[in-house]
């Protein structure tokens, strides 16, 4: 009932809001993009580049708000509330907790500020709060696809043990991806695979994650595959080589395109990654917010990708990764 009321308020306020924002020329439009990560997250710099390009293309005033450190949800919420208080013309933000942001998003709707979620959405999707649309990856599905893609290169007749690296326990984006991978592995077990899996807190630092994965593999020699919830797992390549692990002996897969991950793919230690095209997650919300304000068009969901990138694809994506757009 509460959600229904919120949605009605959202729709009504949005219509009222449109009336108010129609008076602006495109040059006056102010959009804010918010995330719960720090400025040092390379992945989010690609989203920022997409945002910057869109803002230049559409001649709107944009600002991206990071938090002082990764995963500071309270600061992210505070930034969101401050932004709503500034009466901006549009907001794009991540929703990494199902309940934390509901009131703030409802307030944005009441004030007629169109709000689109990007990168990470409420796990209940559109039912979770009154946001207008989601632009990003279906995280659970993406995790499912990574596990599925890894098992393609493995032998069903042999015992397999998969390590699932949860980069930030408790944050929905990581839990969703690992949850999707776990589901596929459970389905594989039901399908007759002689397979076990285990989840560890793998951290979100290339060096620390690499160490934890290698230490785990050393203590659990039956490990045959690793699923990372982001790109940090690629840090394991160096210590796997130190351990004498040959390319292809342990299958690794995860997310995003960063130079170290592409390097490890070329060296044969990473089998696949999923590119969620972060540039689009920065560009498209600005485009949509612009059209909402200028023409009263509706926001719409965009799945920015679950494309598997394998070593044979590295050559074609590497130059775009270096440009900071993939």
Interacting residues toward other proteins by CB under 8 A: 38-42, 45-46, 48-49, 68-70, 166, 169-170, 198-201, 204-208, 210-212, 214-216, 218-220, 235, 238-239, 242-243, 258-260, 263, 322, 324
Residue number with CB closer to other proteins (207 or 298): 207
Residue number with CB closer to other proteins (18 or 317): 317
Sign of the CA dihedral with 208 first, then 211, 215, and 217 last: positive
The CB-of-208 to other proteins minimum distance in angstroms stands at: 8
Task: List the 90-93 sheet strands across, edge first.
Answer: 61-65, 30-34, 90-93, 115-118, 134-136, 302-303
Q: Are 272 and 299 in contact (CB under 8 A)?
A: no
The CB-of-295 to other proteins minimum distance in angstroms stands at: 32
The CB-of-45 to other proteins minimum distance in angstroms stands at: 3
Sign of the CA dihedral with 7 first, then 11, 17, and 21 last: positive
CA 26 to each of CA 84, 116, 188, 281, 292: distance values in angstroms, whole numbers, following the listed order: 19, 19, 52, 21, 11
The CB-of-88 to other proteins minimum distance in angstroms stands at: 23
Residue number with CB closer to other proteins (44 or 290): 44
The CB-of-153 to other proteins minimum distance in angstroms stands at: 24
Residue number with CB closer to other proteins (29 or 139): 139
- The one-character DSSP state at 205 is S
Residue number with CB closer to other proteins (21 or 36): 36
Tokens of 253: 């897969």
List, in sequence order, the alpha helices (H) in the chain: 2-21, 42-57, 73-85, 102-110, 139-152, 172-190, 206-219, 236-242, 259-267, 278-295, 314-322
The CB-of-182 to other proteins minimum distance in angstroms stands at: 12
Residue number with CB closer to other proteins (59 or 220): 220
Number of H helices, E strands in the chain: 11, 12
The CB-of-303 to other proteins minimum distance in angstroms stands at: 25
Residue number with CB closer to other proteins (112 or 210): 210
């Amino acid at each position: 009932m509460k959600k229904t009321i919120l949605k009605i308020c959202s729709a009504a306020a949005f219509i009222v809001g449109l009336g108010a924002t129609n008076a602006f020329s495109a040059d006056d439009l102010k959009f804010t993009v918010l995330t719960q990560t720090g400025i040092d997250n390379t992945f989010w710099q690609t989203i920022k580049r997409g945002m910057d390009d869109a803002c230049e293309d559409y001649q709107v005033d944009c600002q991206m708000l990071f938090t002082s450190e990764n995963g500071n949800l309270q600061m992210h919420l505070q930034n969101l509330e401050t932004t709503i208080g500034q009466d901006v013309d549009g907001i794009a933000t991540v929703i990494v907790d199902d309940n934390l942001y509901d009131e703030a998003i409802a307030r944005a709707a009441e004030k007629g500020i169109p709000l689109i979620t990007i990168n990470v959405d409420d796990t209940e999707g559109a039912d979770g709060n009154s946001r207008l649309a989601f632009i990003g990856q279906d995280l659970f599905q993406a995790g499912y696809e990574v596990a599925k893609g890894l098992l393609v290169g493995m032998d069903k007749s042999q015992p397999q043990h998969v390590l699932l690296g949860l980069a930030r326990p408790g944050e929905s984006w990581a839990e969703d991806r690992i949850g999707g991978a776990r589901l596929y592995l459970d389905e594989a077990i039901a399908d007759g695979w002689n397979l076990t899996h285990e989840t560890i807190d793998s951290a979100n630092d290339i060096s620390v994650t690499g160490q934890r994965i290698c230490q785990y593999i050393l203590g659990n020699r039956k490990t045959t595959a690793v699923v990372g919830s982001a790109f940090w797992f690629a840090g394991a390549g160096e210590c796997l080589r130190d351990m004498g692990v040959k390319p292809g002996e342990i299958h690794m897969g995860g997310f995003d395109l960063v130079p170290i991950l592409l390097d490890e793919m070329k060296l044969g230690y990473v089998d696949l990654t999923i590119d969620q095209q972060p540039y689009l997650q920065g560009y498209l919300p600005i485009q949509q917010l612009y059209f909402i304000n200028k023409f009263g068009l509706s926001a719409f969901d965009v799945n920015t990708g679950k494309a598997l990138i394998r070593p044979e694809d590295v050559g074609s994506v590497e130059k775009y990764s270096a440009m900071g757009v993939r």
